[in-house]
Amino acid sequence: MSASKEVVKKMEDRPEKTRQIPTLIPRVDIYENDDEILLFADMPGVSRNDITVHLDNGKLALSGVRRLEQSGVAHLEEFGTVEYRRVFAVPQGIDMDKVNAELKDGVLRLHLPKSEAVRPKQIEIKAA
């Protein structure tokens, strides 16, 4: 048997080692006032470029990947690369054009402003 056939044979005998990224559910606080819904999502170690916020058809999907560079041989890994993912139902009446997000100190802050049509209004009572 030639050397190249032996290498192929050895490769077929060993299953390829693949590593799935663990998925975590980020902790979230949600507040609502007359003007907006404010969501805080804890995503430590995730950079701004690795976060995706998708709002469509009444669903809000948050995802982000924390990537850690590894060097050397790992003897124990408890703090490696992970993906944060969470999906929420969002009420109708969010002004999509004014939604904004910011990331500071590993916390994603998402502002979901309410449209004028769904904001509470004070009705003035006039004397008859």
Q: What is the mean pLDDT of the chain?
A: 85
* Interval 21-63: pLDDT, tens: 899 999 999 999 989 999 999 999 999 999 999 999 889 999 9
Looking at residue 76, its pLDDT comes to 82
Tokens read off for 121: 């209004």
Quick one: CA dihedral 42, 45, 48, 51, positive or negative?
Answer: negative
- Find how far residue 25's CA is from the centre of its chain: 9
Residue whose structure tokens are 């002004």: 95
Q: Which CATH code fits 21-67+80-116?
A: 2.60.40.790
| Domain ranges within the chain, ordered by starting residue | 21-67+80-116
Model pTM above 0.75 = no
Average pLDDT over residues 59-77: 87
- Determine the pLDDT at residue 1: 54
Mean pLDDT on 111-126: 82
* Distance, CA of 110 to CA of 113 (rounded, Å): 10
- Does residue 15 carry a pLDDT above 80? no
